[in-house]
């Protein structure tokens, strides 16, 4: 996620939130080897793909935990493997109908399991492995009364309907106060859902340690179109509705899922490394593609630092929000000059490595995402006519204590101050200090190696800091503790 600028003095230094060429309207048809996505059906069966292949559910296996910062969201008894979401949006009545098929692994044996599911949504029908099951929906908790055994895999099918509503976000930030499914005056839709909020539009284990694969199908009255993460598998108009299908080929945490629905135009591009890049903007957003198309060059700049782009596709969708978010393979940007700026586009794309490819196990470690991403953003700015990096770091030294005072240490922050300055700038300064300590060659080599060492997985502070110690041969325990857990600014000589 991007942060807004704190003050004019650090404006050049401190940026905040996020960031997406060919021609509308027809997307490329699936090529040889591409398959139609399996479609959800209400009886819990999965339709095979055209070539008979099934999604490899093993790729969605995780070790879910209970979140230490937001324990009321998510349930570690469920390991979601694959979500198949078939969504129909009635923009006039602002009503969503969903058919969801969730393949999951039970992690414990019991008489029930639980998912997060928005209170305004109503269950129409639910089955487990094709058999009807009783559900209890209290607030955002959906309890399914059915016996499950540890390490067995099940298929939960849910048909639901309702008018989704966003939920309050645990933050005092100025660029967002709610998360989840958000409807504009015109009936168009966008969502940002960090640290949670995916549950406002589907039943989900809404905690970052549980990564899963996704297939999406979205129906909306033409010429509007529904857009989600992943590769566009098909787009057609059926009975006056645009029907789009997307497949996310690499596992993602729920906060990295995005959907946008509206009167969108599309442009296609490709990086020099061959990654397809897709840009989506509302037809009303003037000049959008001129801004978004920088994403391709941004990826190429990042690849010089972090290695090849890690996913099958890339892109940016411009929405009517006021923030930016590193949603996996399809960055979600709000519509302001700042959010559409090049540094923000770089920031959100750096997250594809730091945050998306390797993701914090628990929200206490969101600094793992924002610290390195902010540092790389500042490096980018210094190389592209912005403030000199040393000068930026000098300014951060003067602000560090204030940021810790406002929201706590970066890795032990106030839960009601999610995404405050402390998780961006304090660890960015920490990484710069570590760079000075270990030297440029070692620093940049390890910055590139870490995301690949935990590719498609999760990690926590202990795993990451131990890895740096092992790789450098240095005792860095006091260093990391002081920077991440200290309530005061560490000594310069540490
Ligand atoms: Zn960010």
| 355 CA distance to ligand 1 middle (Å) | 9
Burial 247-267 (b: 16+ CB within 10 A, else e): bbbbbbbbbbbbbbbbebbbb
Residues 6+ apart with CB under 8 A from 344: 2, 15, 16, 17, 18, 19, 324, 333, 338
> Which CA distances in Å does 460 have to 10, 185, 207, 257, 311?
30, 40, 14, 21, 22
Distance of CA 236 to the CA centre of its chain: 27
| 349 CA distance to ligand 1 middle (Å) | 9
Domain boundaries defined on the chain: 8-14+358-485, 37-229+238-262
| 111 CA distance to ligand 1 middle (Å) | 40
| 200 CA distance to ligand 1 middle (Å) | 22
**Helix (H) / strand (E) containing 126:** strand 121-128
Tokens matching residue 186: 């015109």
| 17 CA distance to ligand 1 middle (Å) | 6
> Which CA distances in Å does 433 have to 111, 232, 394, 438?
51, 42, 11, 9
| 60 CA distance to ligand 1 middle (Å) | 24
Q: What pLDDT shows up at residue 5?
A: 47
What interhelical angle do 294-306 and 342-350 show, nearest 10?
Answer: 50
Furthest-apart CA atoms within the chain: distance in Å: 68
| 480 CA distance to ligand 1 middle (Å) | 20
Asked if pLDDT for residue 10 goes beyond 70, the answer is no
| 1 CA distance to ligand 1 middle (Å) | 3
Q: Is there a shared CATH topology between the 8-14+358-485 domain and the 37-229+238-262 domain?
A: no
Tokens matching residue 388: 């000199």
| 418 CA distance to ligand 1 middle (Å) | 12
Q: Mean pLDDT check: name the lowest of 16-25, 76-85, 97-106.
A: 16-25
| 167 CA distance to ligand 1 middle (Å) | 21
Q: Please, which residues bridge with residue 104 across strands?
A: 80, 154
Residue range 405-449, pLDDT digits in tens: 999 999 999 999 999 999 999 999 999 999 999 999 999 999 999
Asked if pLDDT for residue 105 goes beyond 90, the answer is yes
| 185 CA distance to ligand 1 middle (Å) | 28
- Write the DSSP assignment of 172-241 as a string of letters: --SS-SEEEEEE-TTS-EEEE-SSS-GGGTS-B--STT--EEEEEEEEEETT-EEEESSEEEEEEEETTE
| 377 CA distance to ligand 1 middle (Å) | 10
CATH classification for the domain delimited by 37-229+238-262, as one of 3.20.20.70, 3.40.50.720, 2.60.40.1730, 3.30.450.40: 2.60.40.1730
| 77 CA distance to ligand 1 middle (Å) | 29
How does DSSP classify residue 335?
Answer: S
| 268 CA distance to ligand 1 middle (Å) | 25
Q: Are 25 and 265 in contact (CB under 8 A)?
A: yes
| 393 CA distance to ligand 1 middle (Å) | 18
| 49 CA distance to ligand 1 middle (Å) | 36
Residues 6+ apart with CB under 8 A from 481: none
> Which CA distances in Å does 303 have to 197, 275, 445?
31, 12, 13
Q: What pLDDT shows up at residue 63?
A: 96
19 or 426, higher pLDDT: 426
Q: What integer is the mean pLDDT of 193-218?
A: 98
| 374 CA distance to ligand 1 middle (Å) | 7
Average pLDDT, the chain: 91
Asked if pLDDT for residue 332 goes beyond 60, the answer is yes
Asked if pLDDT for residue 42 goes beyond 90, the answer is no
Residue range 276-322, pLDDT digits in tens: 999 999 999 999 999 999 999 999 999 999 999 999 999 999 999 99
Look at the block and give the residue holding tokens 């793992």: 368
> Which CA distances in Å does 228 have to 101, 110, 327, 346?
17, 34, 10, 20
| 272 CA distance to ligand 1 middle (Å) | 25
Residue range 449-484, pLDDT digits in tens: 999 999 999 999 999 999 999 999 999 999 999 999
| 97 CA distance to ligand 1 middle (Å) | 32
Distance between first and last Cα of the chain: 29
| 105 CA distance to ligand 1 middle (Å) | 31
Tokens matching residue 233: 């598998």
Q: What pLDDT shows up at residue 55?
A: 61
Burial 46-77 (b: 16+ CB within 10 A, else e): beebeeeeebeeeebebebbebebbeebbbbb
| 31 CA distance to ligand 1 middle (Å) | 34
Sheet holding 331-333, edge to edge: 264-270, 276-282, 314-318, 331-333, 324-325
Q: What pLDDT shows up at residue 321?
A: 96
Asked if pLDDT for residue 29 goes beyond 70, the answer is no
| 157 CA distance to ligand 1 middle (Å) | 34
Which class in CATH covers the domain with range 8-14+358-485?
A: mainly alpha
| 370 CA distance to ligand 1 middle (Å) | 5
Q: Are 301 and 380 in contact (CB under 8 A)?
A: yes
22 or 249, higher pLDDT: 249
Residues 6+ apart with CB under 8 A from 88: 96, 97, 98, 218, 219, 220, 241
C-alpha to C-alpha distance for 251 and 278, rounded to whole angstroms: 19
| 2 CA distance to ligand 1 middle (Å) | 4
Q: What pLDDT shows up at residue 54?
A: 54
| 325 CA distance to ligand 1 middle (Å) | 7
13 or 452, higher pLDDT: 452
| 424 CA distance to ligand 1 middle (Å) | 8
Q: What pLDDT shows up at residue 14?
A: 42
For residue 224, the number of C-alpha atoms closer than 13 Å in the C-beta half-sphere is: 18
| 326 CA distance to ligand 1 middle (Å) | 7
The alpha helices in 333-421, defined as continuous H runs, are 342-350, 367-383, 389-407
- Selection from 244, 375, 247, 263 nearest residue 317 by Cα: 263
| 390 CA distance to ligand 1 middle (Å) | 21
| 170 CA distance to ligand 1 middle (Å) | 16
Burial 283-295 (b: 16+ CB within 10 A, else e): eebeebbebbbbb
C-alpha to C-alpha distance for 55 and 35, rounded to whole angstroms: 11
């Amino acid at each position: 996620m991007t942060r807004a600028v704190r003050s004019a003095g650090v404006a050049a230094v401190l940026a905040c939130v996020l960031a997406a060429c060919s021609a509308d309207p027809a997307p490329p048809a699936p090529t040889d080897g591409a398959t139609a996505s399996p479609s959800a059906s209400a009886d819990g069966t999965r339709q095979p793909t055209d070539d008979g292949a099934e999604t490899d559910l093993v790729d969605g296996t995780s070790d879910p935990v209970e979140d230490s910062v937001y324990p009321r969201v998510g349930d570690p008894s469920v390991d979601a493997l694959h979500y198949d979401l078939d969504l129909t949006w009635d923009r006039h009545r602002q009503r969503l109908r969903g058919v969801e098929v969730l393949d999951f692994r039970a992690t414990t044996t019991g008489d029930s399991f639980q998912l997060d599911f928005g209170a305004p949504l109503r269950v129409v029908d639910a089955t487990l492995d094709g058999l009807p099951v009783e559900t209890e929906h209290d607030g955002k908790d959906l309890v399914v009364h059915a016996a499950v055994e540890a390490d067995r895999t099940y298929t939960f099918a849910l048909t639901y309907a309702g008018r989704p509503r966003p939920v309050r976000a645990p933050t005092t930030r100025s660029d967002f106060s709610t998360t989840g499914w958000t409807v504009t005056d015109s009936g168009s839709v966008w969502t940002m859902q960090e640290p949670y909020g995916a549950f406002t539009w589907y039943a989900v284990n809404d905690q970052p340690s549980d990564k899963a694969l996704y297939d999406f199908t979205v129906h909306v009255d033409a010429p509007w179109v529904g857009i989600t993460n992943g590769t566009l598998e098909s787009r057609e108009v059926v009975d006056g509705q645009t029907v789009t299908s997307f497949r996310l080929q690499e596992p993602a945490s729920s906060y990295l899922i995005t959907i946008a629905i509206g009167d969108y135009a599309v442009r296609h591009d490709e990086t020099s490394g061959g990654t397809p890049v897709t840009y989506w903007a509302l037809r009303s957003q003037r000049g959008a593609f001129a801004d978004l198309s920088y994403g391709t060059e941004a990826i190429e700049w990042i690849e010089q630092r972090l290695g090849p782009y890690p996913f099958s596709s890339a892109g940016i969708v411009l929405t009517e929000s006021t923030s930016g978010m590193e949603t996996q393979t399809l960055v979600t940007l709000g519509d302001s000059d700042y959010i559409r700026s090049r540094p923000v586009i770089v920031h959100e794309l750096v997250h594809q490595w730091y945050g998306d490819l390797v993701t914090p196990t628990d929200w206490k470690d969101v600094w793992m995402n924002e610290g390195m991403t902010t540092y790389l953003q500042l490096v980018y700015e210094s190389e592209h006519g912005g403030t000199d990096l040393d000068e930026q770091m000098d300014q951060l030294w003067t602000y560090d204590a204030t940021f810790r005072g406002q929201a706590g240490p970066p890795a032990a922050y106030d839960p009601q101050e999610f995404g405050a300055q402390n998780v961006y700038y304090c660890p960015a300064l920490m990484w710069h200090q570590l760079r000075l300590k270990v030297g440029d060659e070692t620093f940049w080599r390890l910055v590139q190696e870490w995301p690949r060492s935990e590719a498609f997985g999760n990690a926590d502070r202990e795993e990451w800091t131990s890895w740096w110690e092992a790789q450098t041969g240095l005792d860095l325990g006091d260093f990391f503790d002081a920077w991440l857990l200290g309530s005061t600014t560490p000594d310069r000589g540490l």
